[in-house]
Amino acid sequence: MFTYFMSYTLGKSDFFFNLLENLYSNNIFIDNLNDIKKRMRLVHSYTTPQFDDIEAEIVCLILMYLNPKKICEFSPCGGWSTLYMLNTLDVIKNTECQIHSYDIIDNCTSNINNFSDLKNQWNFYLGNVEDKYIYFNEDIDYLFIDSDHSSTFTKKYIDELLNPLLIKLKNMNKKIFVSVHDVFHSNIPSDEGILVIEFLHKNNIEYFSPLNDYQRDNIQKIRNNTNLDKKYVHQVTTNPCIYFILG
């Protein structure tokens, strides 16, 4: 069990923070973010937001940086995060990337079908993502995890997805960007978060959280020094996601 809560920092990765600092300093990326935010305000009428503004900005910036070809998403729910990613691909004119979303219910297809210019880069699989881990491989560029937050589900995706992927990636010297949502709604991580952080600690992988006090303050300073549209898209300030690089 995780034993060092007394020195807990909510996730601090200097590498990831420095990367974000550079991305927020890119004027083209900021213009892209403003365009994406304008689009996402219109999406409110189609689906319920499940992802907060700063963590969504970070996802968009990562995708601009990666210019990916393949994204895998656990549990799109109503498609809020999916539409963030699809709009990012559209804004940066990436027509090659495909998003593969997995969910046991379909609350998203009707929402995403409202955006006919985006849906061609989206693939939805109805069913349990746990049955698909064997088909996940190292060609993924970004893995977006926001699903069943139970310990049982988490342990299974660590054992059957993250661990095998890590071995493959190290052997071929490749890296995958990963985010896990709903980890920090307080200073103590969720049950899912505890297991993921244990996995990261065991493998000497740093992770980043927008809730880390030092990094949160500095991200705000960086944002304030840009032409970023800072009006809320989704008026919640928790931003409980963590980000790390697998490989």
Is position 5 within any domain? no
> Model-level pTM?
0.95
Is position 37 within any domain? yes
Residue 245, pLDDT score: 97
| pLDDT by position in tens, the chain (length 247) | 444 443 456 888 999 999 999 999 999 999 999 999 999 999 988 888 989 999 999 999 999 999 999 999 999 999 999 999 999 999 999 999 999 999 999 999 999 999 989 999 999 999 999 999 999 999 999 999 999 999 999 999 999 999 999 999 999 999 999 999 999 988 889 999 999 999 999 999 999 999 887 788 899 999 999 999 999 999 888 999 999 999 9
**Burial status of residue 152 (CB atoms within 10 A of its CB: 0-12, 13-18, 19 or more):** exposed
Phi, psi torsion values for 11, nearest 5 degrees? 95, 115
Residue 2, pLDDT score: 44
- DSSP-based three-state secondary structure for 112: helix
From the list 216, 204, 220, 217, the residue with the least C-alpha distance to 240 is: 216
Is position 3 within any domain? no
Q: Number of folded domains in the chain? A: 1
3 state SS for 156-216: HHHHHHHHHHHHHHHHHCCCEEEEECCCCCCCCCCHHHHHHHHHHHHCCCCEECCCCHHHH
Q: Using an 8 Å Cβ cutoff, are 2 and 197 in contact? A: yes
d(CA 193, CA 198): 8
Token readout for 230 is 């800072």
d(CA 47, CA 24): 27
From the list 179, 235, 231, the residue with the least C-alpha distance to 210 is: 179
Q: Which domain holds residue 19?
A: 10-246
Across the beta sheet with 98-103, the strand order is: 122-126, 98-103, 70-74, 142-145, 176-180, 242-246, 207-208
C-alpha distance from residue 82 to each of 143, 144, 219 (Å): 12, 10, 24
Is position 1 within any domain? no
From the list 181, 187, 194, 196, the residue with the least C-alpha distance to 241 is: 181
C-alpha distance from residue 236 to each of 31, 136, 155, 202, 233 (Å): 23, 33, 29, 32, 9
Looking at residue 219, which CATH number applies to its domain? 3.40.50.150
Residue 228, pLDDT score: 98
Is position 236 within any domain? yes
Residue 55, pLDDT score: 96
d(CA 99, CA 68): 10
Token readout for 114 is 């409202």
Is position 57 within any domain? yes
Is position 155 within any domain? yes
Within the chain, where are the H helices? 14-24, 27-43, 53-66, 80-91, 109-112, 151-157, 163-172, 191-202, 213-224
Residue 3, pLDDT score: 44
Residue 213, pLDDT score: 79
d(CA 219, CA 245): 19
